[in-house]
Amino acid sequence: MKRGYPDLHEHLEALKQRGLLLTVDRPIDKDAEMHPLVRWQFVGGLPEEERKAFLFTNITDGRGRRYAMPVAVGAIAANRAIYGVGMGVPIEEIQARWDRAIANPVPPRLVTEAVCQEVVLEGDALRGEGNGLDRLPIPISTPGFDSAPTLTATNVITRDPNTGVQNMGTYRAALKAPDRLVVRMATRVGGAGGYLHYLAHQKRGDATMPCAIVLGCPPFVAFMGPQKLPVGVDELDVAGGLAGSPINVVRARTVDLLVPAEAEVVIEGLIDTEYVEPEAPFGESHGHVALEEFNMPMRVTAITHRRDAIIPSYISQVTPSESSVIKRLAYEPLFLAHLRDALGIRGVKRAALHEPLTALLRVTIITLEKGTSRTEVWRALYGATSFKGDCGKICIAVNDDIDPDNADALLWAMAYRMDPVQDVQTLPHRGQGHGPKREHGGEEDSTLLMDATMKSDMPPLALPKREYMERALAIWQELGLPAVRPRPPWFGYSLGDWLPQWDAAARRAVEGRYLENGRISAGQRRTGVKPETKFRPD
């Protein structure tokens, strides 16, 4: 089939060529070992650039059964570089690519034959242990807490029964039987598109809702699941905009839905709109275990897949994780565009969603140019906290010398650049959002806003200038000392309150000419002046 985008197999090959894919051929237990193994690259102190995608080729389970299909974990976004390979552009060009795709969607192209339907399982092939869903090597994400293998790297497709527009979202689905699973779609206010379709089917009196759970989409399509587009926008159209060409789709075998033709696996079925079934516990992306709750049972009517299918699995739960990288690279450009373009706050240079442990939802850091007026700083804080209902509980404004990914730097800015009386505000009436305290329980939250920008010029950061730190680093490496991973700030720089005369004096000191500085200061002695009175040379 003609196409202008890579499928998952080609994406994995591209990762391999760039040294971003690690293939594990030894036996790995999908229920007890797989996700914990990958988890170590997120909790083991490795810098982000050293994370890899994992491809497991020799898979067993807790009962010693073996599986024919490989499993890929971290293959979409274990780090920014892997995400960038999937997008086909450097990281710095991702925002522009999303902007063009949303502004210029390309409708999908319907085909009659597809690799995702090379193997078709229906009827008796879906029933009984070892058949249907039980054939698939679906991992347990949080061993010790999760109650079932759970589909995580999903693109779940449903259709609005009134408009006919499809929606595609990433929702978890727990395996319950070879032909049954339970899907969890967000029910919060303005919730998931699939849940809105569920409500529409209920209102019409439909007993079931057609559904297709797609695993292993081409990356351009996979990226659409976690992306938050306006209700009524077909994600396949925007995926075509990302690819710059139509996404091939084929009609599902047993439900009236269009699915990506180059997908690895498609699970077709009918979601019950009357009965709900307990699902979870499951380690969720907000970093806590989601406790057992009623969700949507789905009876599987067909499973189709490629002959050489690969099962993808997102590593999520406590952040940083693969799912948080996907969301961060999708959400941050939206925040920046909202603040800089929609609200017209020109001093905004970056919007960063804090990732480790806070899951992007609770802490938002807005970077503003030095000298941005107080009014514009607060407009940016108000705009950030209200842009998405589940993001921005704590919003912090900083200047561009503060690395938003360095918690120590953030605390430094708060400690020295913020007056709690003047620069802190709290706002009531905030929803709980996605987290252990669920919004549909009715409990409200609140918002904390902090202006930790510089209000005036300050003296330099008291570290050696960059040239001297780099000179010393070369000696450090020559001596074979332990590898260092510099985190800003690792050298001193001016914060505005610094004069050329002091630069000259520092240069003389480094050159061993401090006595000359002494002769200069001797000529500037005064009488009748209290000690610690500030002095600024002419």
Q: Do 235 and 199 share a structural domain?
A: yes
Quick check: 278 and 142 in contact, CB under 8 A? no
Query: Does 110 fall in a domain?
Result: yes
Phi/psi-derived region of residue 139, left when phi > 0, alpha when psi is between -120 and 50, beta in every other case: beta
Does the CA dihedral 48-50-55-60 come out positive or negative? negative
What pLDDT does 442 receive? Answer: 60
DSSP letters for 299-356: EEEEEEE-TT--EEE---SSSSSHHHHHHHHHHHHHHHHIIIIIS--TTEEEEEE--T
**pTM, entire model:** 0.89
Q: Do 488 and 357 share a structural domain?
A: no
Q: Do 39 and 123 share a structural domain?
A: yes
Q: Do 497 and 429 share a structural domain?
A: no
8-state DSSP, 439: G
Boundary residue ending a domain (416, 451, 486): 451
What pLDDT does 234 receive? Answer: 85
- Strand segments, DSSP code E, in 8-52 are 21-24, 28-29
> Angle CA(332)–CA(418)–CA(343) in degrees, nearest 5?
35
Boundary residue ending a domain (451, 480, 509): 451
Q: What is the β-pairing status of strands 53-56 and 71-73?
A: antiparallel
Query: Does 298 fall in a domain?
Result: yes
Query: What is the distance between the alpha carbons of residues 187 and 202, in angstroms, rounded to a whole number?
Result: 14
Query: Does 538 fall in a domain?
Result: no
Phi/psi-derived region of residue 447, left when phi > 0, alpha when psi is between -120 and 50, beta in every other case: beta
What pLDDT does 1 receive? Answer: 63
Boundary residue ending a domain (313, 328, 360): 313
Quick check: 233 and 223 in contact, CB under 8 A? no
CATH of the domain at 112: 2.30.110.10
What is the span of the domain harbouring residue 406? 343-451
If one counts the domains in the chain, the total is 3
Q: Do 26 and 122 share a structural domain?
A: yes
Query: Does 102 fall in a domain?
Result: yes
Query: Does 332 fall in a domain?
Result: no
Query: Does 55 fall in a domain?
Result: yes
Nearest CA among 355, 325, 247, 240 for reference residue 20: 325
Q: Do 443 and 357 share a structural domain?
A: yes
Q: Do 167 and 57 share a structural domain?
A: yes
Q: Do 309 and 359 share a structural domain?
A: no
Nearest CA among 391, 387, 297 for reference residue 342: 387
Query: What is the distance between the alpha carbons of residues 75 and 83, in angstroms, rounded to a whole number?
Result: 8
- Residue 363: both structure tokens together: 């802490």
Task: Give the strand order in the sheet containing 59-60.
Answer: 28-29, 59-60, 66-67
Only one residue has tokens 């739960």, namely 317
What pLDDT does 439 receive? Answer: 46
Q: Do 107 and 50 share a structural domain?
A: yes
Q: Do 377 and 516 share a structural domain?
A: no
CATH of the domain at 397: 3.40.1670.10
Q: Do 190 and 149 share a structural domain?
A: yes
Q: Do 182 and 275 share a structural domain?
A: yes
Query: Does 325 fall in a domain?
Result: no
| Per-run averaged pLDDT (10 residues), the chain, 538 residues | 90 98 96 96 91 97 96 96 94 86 94 97 97 97 96 96 94 97 83 90 98 97 80 87 96 98 98 97 90 96 98 94 91 90 95 92 95 97 91 95 94 96 94 64 84 95 93 94 89 94 95 96 95 92
